[in-house]
Homo-oligomer: A and B are copies of this chain.
Amino acid sequence: MIKREDISISVIKRLPRYYRFLGELIKKDIDRISSRELSSKMGLTASLIRQDLNCFGGFGQQGYGYNVKLLHEEIGQILGLDSSFRAIIIGAGNLGRVIATHMDFEKRGFQLIGIFDKKESMAGQLVRGMPVRHIDGLDEFCRENLPQVAILCIPAEAAFEITDALVRLGIQGFWNFTHSDLALRYPGLPVENVHLGDSLMTFCYRMKEKLEHPVSDR
């Protein structure tokens, strides 16, 4: 098993993508693949792929290519996908429900153990086979079940009040769909942001550039 010190952050950021592509190859019963084939499928250069994957050592062989299954497993281990971090979702509105039902938590290193909302009317509704709990029961739930991470699907205005409470209750990281800048408020904790609005603005810029400069863009 490789040590994390050997892997640069830019390689780490590409790992989920490799993992995803290799998973698709496994589904198609493909046992091995060359860096050149991976390159044409992923849009990265073959030399970058060789360089990245050489970090894990020993899986690529001249004239044979990579063992898809071994490589997939190794990358999964580096990412820690065999973990089972206890997660709760805060906010059972549309977004919270999509996240609860769409995400393959177990295969991504997490287990979803609770979902909370402040609306009385939502309490008891089933989401992913789990009853939505009223936020008033959060303290007791955390003391009993020790969730490690919180997934924030609430409006930004409400965020800090609840995140301060969550940190006091032992939450050690956030998957953050709000616009609150949590990393700055809790510098010691991992915060992974999903800013859909920023993504939409970046898309707007790229469309504008494309239409204004149709030839110079590739």
Contacts and interface: CB of A to CB of B under 8 A. Distances in A.
Interface of A: 4, 12-13, 15-17, 19-20, 41-43, 78-81, 83, 85, 94-95, 97-99, 101-105, 108-110, 148-149, 172-173, 175, 179, 181, 183-184, 187-190, 192, 194-211, 213, 217-218
15 contacts: A12-B205, A13-B202, A16-B197, A16-B202, A20-B179, A42-B181, A79-B208, A81-B204, A85-B207, A105-B200, A109-B200, A109-B204, A110-B200, A110-B204, A189-B210
Contacts of A85: 204, 207
A181 B41 contact: yes
B94 A102 contact: yes
A9 B23 CA distance: 31
A173 B101 CA distance: 28
Contacts of A190: 203, 206-207, 209-210
Identical chains in the assembly:
2
A209 B173 CA distance: 12
A197 B108 contact: yes
Q: Is the interface of A mostly helix, strand, loop or mixed?
A: helix
A148 B179 contact: no
B211 A172 contact: yes
B200 A103 contact: yes
Nearest to A21: B181
Given A16-B201, A200-B175, A207 B94 contact: no
A196 B83 CA distance: 18
Given A98-B98, A175-B200, A210-B173, A218 B188 contact: yes
A211 to B, nearest CB: 7
